[in-house]
């Protein structure tokens, strides 16, 4: 196929919350563009885009897909993003490489509770946007009601077309720019018809609003318009393009993707009114502390952004890239400044869902795939050596909201689970994996229940590693509130050489966060210097597994201040055992206490749900730290015990109809109350008993 010039490209992300028909609309575009010979449908598993096993089974988009349509001398790259919050990382990545957005609202629902969250992502990305009123063929479809509800999203919303009919009676549109009416055919084509007489008033009012909005896109047009002069169709179109690019207006188009109705008109709108990479202008990159303007010039030095890696299904292993400058040609050696490595480009391909088509090069502004790149991750910049240490703007993924323990179903396969997770982590930057030896668990953090549930299935399917999700153990810590002086003596006679070690230890608490301190206060050689390291070692070994509940000991100072030895029977092992005994006894005498981790939780929530959220946090032993306003939302900060926020993302979605989100990070440790301490100690004892029984059986 031809290599398109930068000004002939359109990079468009299809965006909304789940269930609005994004993928069905993209499938209709592919069919009308003759990419496919039959219309792919999500419900019957024939979608070109939602092609993975999980997507076919669940009938939802799980990962962002790339496809393209050639339409009237232009190449439209379609970025089909997931709508479910669990896969928001893919949405963020898709928005990062798009130049414009088609934001879908369902014709029978309009702005729904979860719409705000996705809209704010689009606003943060500052992308020119067209509202698409989708599924106009549904019962109860109401274009005017959707427009009214959308006024909560943006100040200036203007239809580019009005629907003729609605629901099963949706049969055409009136193009307000051309002032022509079209009736749709079953194959997606259209026939011009007279504008229905009953729509004349609505068409006239909508046309006036469109001209008003277009005039405001250009100062010269405003002046001409205010003087009462009529704007030409070219001037109206020019003003609309300027307003869309500046994001001072949001046009609206009605469609019914599954019926191919209005889709050809939407493709015309994309080509005519949405910006090319050239129209959006240079991207601001960085070279060290210096900002660099990088123009989308196909003749410049190569610079591209890795925005997604794929290893699933028939697509095999490939890396999705956007070329920001130059031409990406197979065989080029490119610098990866983030890893200080050099990567050679392999075959370059265009992508159609699960299929790909090899091409000689990808030019500035285009999207495609590079095969078998080594040592690259999403967010990496690959550039010509002459760019030196260039860094394109990164992809800012949201922080995980749910942490679960991954427990191997088969004993002895823990390493297999860890290795599989490491591979999956490479292609999903929203996953975080930690292996906590103190808790003896592999902890995986993701964006929600569905995200982690699908992760276990991929782990089994791809790498044969079976794992179950379990509640993570809480990383409690043990410490003391008082002081104690104790003696520990280890004496054993076995017929030959005996064992003898005798130590006197003083235990006292340290400030929170100070850790552990060992002090040698021995005078007069009552404990020989050569045995003192063994004393410290004996204490430190107990610190790891704790004394009262099996958790690590922190914030304690231990002083060795007296002892005795035997010239023949004393040894390092004897002093180590004596120290361990002394420390355990002293710890129990020094008013031991459990510490629990406290998280700083930040909740971004609409004002109307603030009361419910605050009440829920208080019921979780939370302490409200403060509240501030951020746009249309409130940002609430609180300290909450980690033990109370397990699956909090699920609770928050339920409380706020999915309109709030949160982030959490470790803050500090605090003492638990006596009733909680007793409960934790009892649970810990039961768990250790179970583990001992398993070891006996094994």
pTM here is 0.89
Domain 595-675 -> CATH class: alpha beta
Residue 612 has pLDDT above 70, yes or no: yes
Please give the CATH topology (third level) of the domain spanning 283-391: Elongation Factor Tu (Ef-tu); domain 3 (2.40.30)
Instruction: Give the pLDDT band (50/70/90) at residue 694.
Output: low
Give mean pLDDT, residues 305-329: 84
CATH 3.40.50.10320 fits 411-462, yes or no: no
Instruction: Tell me what pLDDT residue 312 has.
Output: 58
Q: Any idea which architecture 478-590 has in CATH? A: 2-Layer Sandwich (3.30)
**All residues at 6 or more sequence positions from 696 whose CB lies less than 8 Å from its CB, including other chains:** none
Q: Are residues 281 and 15 in contact, defined by beta-carbon separation less than 8 angstroms?
A: no
Task: Judge if 411-462 and 595-675 fold alike in CATH terms.
Answer: yes
Buried b (16+ CB within 10 A) or exposed e, 159-188: bbbbbbbbbeebbbbbbbbeeebbebeeeb
Give strand ranges (E) for 532-591: 556-564
Residue 24 has pLDDT above 60, yes or no: yes
Instruction: Tell me what pLDDT residue 698 has.
Output: 53
Domain ranges of the chain: 6-197+247-279, 283-391, 411-462, 478-590, 595-675
Residue 313 has pLDDT above 60, yes or no: no
Express each pLDDT in 496-535 by its tens digit: 678 999 999 999 999 999 999 999 999 999 999 999 999 9
Residue 101 has pLDDT above 60, yes or no: yes
Distance of CA 628 to CAs 342, 607, 653, 661, Å? 46, 11, 21, 15
Residue 661 has pLDDT above 80, yes or no: yes
Q: Which residue has the tokens 């490939």?
A: 318
Closest Cα partner for 20 from 86, 101, 115, 91? 115
Instruction: Return the CATH number of the domain spanning residue range 6-197+247-279.
Output: 3.40.50.300
Q: Distance between CA 510 and CA 606 in Å, rounded?
A: 43
Q: Distance between CA 250 and CA 135 in Å, rounded?
A: 19
Coil vs helix vs strand at 390: strand
């Amino acid at each position: 196929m031809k290599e398109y010039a930068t000004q002939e490209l359109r990079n468009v992300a299809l965006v909304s919350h789940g269930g609005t028909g994004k993928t069905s609309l993209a499938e209709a575009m592919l069919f009308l563009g003759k990419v496919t010979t039959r219309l792919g449908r999500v419900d019957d598993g024939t979608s070109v885009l939602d092609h993975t096993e999980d997507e076919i089974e669940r009938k939802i988009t799980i990962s962002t897909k790339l496809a393209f349509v050639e339409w009237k001398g232009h190449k439209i790259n379609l970025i089909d993003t997931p709508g479910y919050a669990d896969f928001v990382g893919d949405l963020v990545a898709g928005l990062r490489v798009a130049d414009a957005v088609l934001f879908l609202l369902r014709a029978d629902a309009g702005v729904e509770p979860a719409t705000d969250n996705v809209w704010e992502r689009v606003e943060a990305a500052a992308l020119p946007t067209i509202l698409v009123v989708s599924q106009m063929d549904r019962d109860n479809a109401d274009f005017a009601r959707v427009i009214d509800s959308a006024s909560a999203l943006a100040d200036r919303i203007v239809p580019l077309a009005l629907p003729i009919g609605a629901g099963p009676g949706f049969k055409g549109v009136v193009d307000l720019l051309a002032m022509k009416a079209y009736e749709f055919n079953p194959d997606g084509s259209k026939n011009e018809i007279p504008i229905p007489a009953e729509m004349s008033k609505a068409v006239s009012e909508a046309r006036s609003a469109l001209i008003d909005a277009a005039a405001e896109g250009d100062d010269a047009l405003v002046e001409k318009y205010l003087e009462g002069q009529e704007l030409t169709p070219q001037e109206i179109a020019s003003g609309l393009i300027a307003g869309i690019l500046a994001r001072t207006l949001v046009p609206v188009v009605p469609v019914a993707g599954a019926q191919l109705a209005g889709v050809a008109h939407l493709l015309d709108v994309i080509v005519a009114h949405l910006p090319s990479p050239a129209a959006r202008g240079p991207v601001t990159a960085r070279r060290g502390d210096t900002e660099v303007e990088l123009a989308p010039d196909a003749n410049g030095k190569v610079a591209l952004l890795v925005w997604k890696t794929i290893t699933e299904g028939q697509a095999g292993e490939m890396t999705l890239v956007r070329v920001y400058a130059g031409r990406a040609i197979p065989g080029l050696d490119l610098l990866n400044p983030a890893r200080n490595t050099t990567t050679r480009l392999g075959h370059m391909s265009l992508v159609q869902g699960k299929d790909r088509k090899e091409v000689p090069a990808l030019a500035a502004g285009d999207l495609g795939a590079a095969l078998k790149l080594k040592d690259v991750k999403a967010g990496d910049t690959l550039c010509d050596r002459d760019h030196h240490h260039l860094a394109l703007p990164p992809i800012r993924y949201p922080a995980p909201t749910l942490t679960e323990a991954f427990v191997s179903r088969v004993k002895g396969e823990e390493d297999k689970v860890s290795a599989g997770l490491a591979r999956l982590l490479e292609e999903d930057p929203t996953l975080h994996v930690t292996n906590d030896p103190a808790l003896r668990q592999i902890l995986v953090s993701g964006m929600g229940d569905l995200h982690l549930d699908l992760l276990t299935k991929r782990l089994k399917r791809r790498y044969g590693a079976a794992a179950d999700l379990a509640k993570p153990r809480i990383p409690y810590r043990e410490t003391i509130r008082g002081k104690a002086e104790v003696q520990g003596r280890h004496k054993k006679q076995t017929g030959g050489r005996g064992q003898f070690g005798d130590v006197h230890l003083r235990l006292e608490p340290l400030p929170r966060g100070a850790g552990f301190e060992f002090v040698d206060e021995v005078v007069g050689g009552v404990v020989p210097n050569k045995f003192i390291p063994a004393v410290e070692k004996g204490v430190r070994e107990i610190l790891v597994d704790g004394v009262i509940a099996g958790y690590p000991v922190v914030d304690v100072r231990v002083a060795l201040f007296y002892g005795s030895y035997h010239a023949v029977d004393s040894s390092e092992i004897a002093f180590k055992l004596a120290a361990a005994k002394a420390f355990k006894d002293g710890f129990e005498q020094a008013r031991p206490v459990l510490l629990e981790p406290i998280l700083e939780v930040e909740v971004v929530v609409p004002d109307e749900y603030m009361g419910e959220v605050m009440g829920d946090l208080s019921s979780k032993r939370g302490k409200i730290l403060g509240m501030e306003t951020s746009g249309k939302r409130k940002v609430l900060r609180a300290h909450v015990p980690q033990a109370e926020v397990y699956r909090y993302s699920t609770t928050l979605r339920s409380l706020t109809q999915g309109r709030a989100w949160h982030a959490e990070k470790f803050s500090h440790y605090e003492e638990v109350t006596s009733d909680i301490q007793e409960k934790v100690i009892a649970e810990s004892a039961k768990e250790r008993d179970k583990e001992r029984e398993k070891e006996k059986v094994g």
